Structure 1
Amino acid sequence: MKIIAFGDIHMSLGNFAQIPGIKTADLIILTGDLTNLGGRSEAKEILNQVMTVNPRVFAQLGNLDRPEVDTYLNELDINLHGQARLFQRQVCLMGLGGSNLTPFKTPTEFTEEELSTSLNQAHEQARAFMDLSGSGKHRNPPLIFISHTPPLNTKTDQLDGGVHVGSTAVRHFIEKQQPALCLCGHIHEAKGEDWIGKTHILNPGMIHQQGWIEIDIDSSHHGHVKAVLR
């Protein structure tokens, strides 16, 4: 299985259609910030562009998307924020959109307590899916965690001045649950990757600056997951 993930679109997809294999990928994941302070119509514009290239999409809002984007994604049944998805019985996805609190008072920000509540809700669903899929002769599928906000104190949450601004709730979740991957964004200048325990964390930066992630899942090798930052 091949998955292409990117985010921090901000109404500019750049040359995303030129990503190798994007038309035939099994799934496209949009990690947040589809718009710049936009709502339903702006999100629809971006999603239409992406789905014209590949209709198999899951997405979530970022902090610069208005809350109505969350409602719209639910209506399309492609939302990841605060919930989990079992995809083709080969991988479990769970999402956390928006961001922790910022000085800028953007449209979709949450306290760390609110983020933790959403994480617990999504992980409950994920565990149920994984237990169901892993019953009988099947092994539990790998868990991929999509968080618009990066975990605190990593290479993926550092501003140019060196200050770390990621989420404590996201970090605590990763430390405890150890998903295979954490795909994040939000801090554009912190494009890069890091590890927390066994969890590979990747921030591709902005898509219009040609940042994206390629994920391969080998179901013949117990769901082995390989992610490459491009």
Structure 2
Amino acid sequence: MSLDALLHRREPTAFELFTQDPLRFLARKAYELTSKQPDLVTSSANGVPVRIVCISDTHSQHAKLGTLPDGDILIHAGDLTHSGTPEEVRDALQWLASQPHPHKIFIAGNHDHALSDDETRATLLDAFPALVYLQQSSTTIAVRERTFRIYGSPLTPAHGSWAFQYPRASPAQAEWDSIPSDTDVLVTHGPPMHHVDRGSGCAALLSAVWKVRPRLHICGHIHAARGVEALSWTGAQAAYERILARTGGWWDLLVVFFGGVFTRTSARESTVLVNAASLGGFRDEQVRGAIVVDL
């Protein structure tokens, strides 16, 4: 394919997508039509929501984000840098530490090589004590007499020679089963399979999230998949995922449609899934703002 054809390639039409795989095409349409729309202001126990500001994949372009929305907790889901040098990481952390949010939490991404070296990481983190770094670990945050357990992991399935990767064929190395069952907010650099992932998510992570079902799951990594989705943990969602995994059939399509129409879940029974990737566009020329969720 010529460079010109690559730069000006068009997206396939709906008809082309249908003829390529009618079952998966119809499943996506049925899921979009019947799944609960994500509610970014979910119910809280005392009526006073805690505001979480979500960003990811700033790739050393953090200064272009402008003023971030106010909030109680600022969470960055990795890829703070472009090349991952200590200097780039230090600059990104300086910016993150300067934000006014009372609690600032971040994980690394596959671009953040300097954070994969124990000694370098320790030196960088020592310089920014106001930041909380999570690497397959948890922290508990208290906001207005409410507590949130937040778990973070930078790991993504291997693609190239990047940092914080595990073989897609050996997802046990990611230790997703170690996510605490009482996690309120899950922060992973990559998305789960079949949701805000453009087909590149992790099936093992999806399986783990089915078990944990956090109130909020923040990720990034797949820039083109930026968005928000409500995961309802119903039979309709399971049927949808089976179809996309090519293990389901036409009966599952009926389950997706009728299950989505007749099954209702409350905000407390569902998970708000946010792909907060900041950069977008064919050459990452777009810089997109934060996504705010009230819990």
Q: With structure 2 as the length reference, what TM-score do the two structures score?
A: 0.58
Alignment match, 1:213 = 291
Deviations, residues 103-153 of structure 1 (Å, cap 9, x unaligned): x222221231211x1x333x24xx5xx5xxxxxxxxxxx701011100011
Q: How does 1:8-87 map to 2 (within 5 A)?
A: 8-21=57-70, 25-54=71-100, 56-66=103-113, 67-68=116-117, 71=122, 75=126, 76=129, 78-87=132-141
1:165 aligns with 2:212: no
Unaligned stretches of 5+ residues in structure 2: 1-49, 234-269, 280-285
**Structure 1 pair 211–194 and aligned structure 2 pair: CA distance change class (3 A):** same
Query: How many residues get paired?
Result: 189
Partner of 2:172: 113
Tell me the distance in 1 between the aligned counterparts of 2:155 and 2:121.
10
> Deviations for 1:161-183, whole angstroms, at most 9, x for unmatched residues?
xxx11111210111111111111
- CA–CA separation in structure 2 for the residues paired with 1:145 and 1:31: 10
Query: CA deviation digits over 1:184-214, x for unaligned, max 9?
Result: 1000001112233222211122256223221
Structure 2: distance between partners of 1:15 and 1:90: 32
Cα 1:73–1:148, aligned 2, differ >3 Å: closer, same or farther? farther
Q: CA shift at 1:72, angstroms?
A: 5.3
Q: Distance in 2 between matches of 1:149 and 1:92?
A: 19
Query: Aligned to 1:204, which of 272, 276, 280?
Result: 276
Instruction: Tell me how far apart the structure 2 counterparts of residues 3 and 166 of structure 1 sit (CA, whole Å).
Output: 23
Question: 1: CA distance between counterparts of 2:157 and 2:112?
Answer: 14
- Secondary structure of the residue that 1:200 maps to in structure 2? strand
Task: Report the Cα distance in structure 2 between the residues aligned to 1:98 and 1:72, rounded to whole angstroms.
Answer: 21
Verify the 8 A CA contact 2:219 2:275 in the aligned structure 1. yes
Displacement, 1:3? 1.8
Determine what percentage of the aligned residue pairs are the same residue.
Answer: 22
Do the aligned residues in 2 keep the contact of 1:28 with 1:57 (CA within 8 Å)? yes
Give unpaired runs (5+ residues) of structure 1. Answer: 131-141, 159-163, 217-224, 226-230
Check conservation: 2:276, 2:291, Cα contact below 8 A.
yes
Alignment of 1:95 with 2:152, yes or no, is yes
The 3 A distance-change label for structure 1 pair 20 and 212 is closer
- Structure 1 residue aligned with 2:38: none
CA offset digits 1:61-101 (Å, max 9, x no partner): 00111113754566446112201111015211111113111
Conserved 8 A contact 1:174-1:199: no
Contact map agreement 1:195 1:201 (CA 8 A) in 2: yes
Higher-Rg structure is 2
CA change 1:108–1:37 in 2 (3 A) is farther
Partner secondary structure for residue 153 of structure 1: coil
User: Are 1:96 and 1:147, in contact at CA under 8 Å, matched by a contact in 2?
Assistant: yes
Comparing 76-85 and 174-183, the one that deviates more:
76-85
Report the equivalent of 1:135. Answer: none
Cα shift at 1:38:
1.1
Structure 1 residues 84 and 74, CA gap change in structure 2 (3 angstroms): farther
2:259 alignment counterpart: none
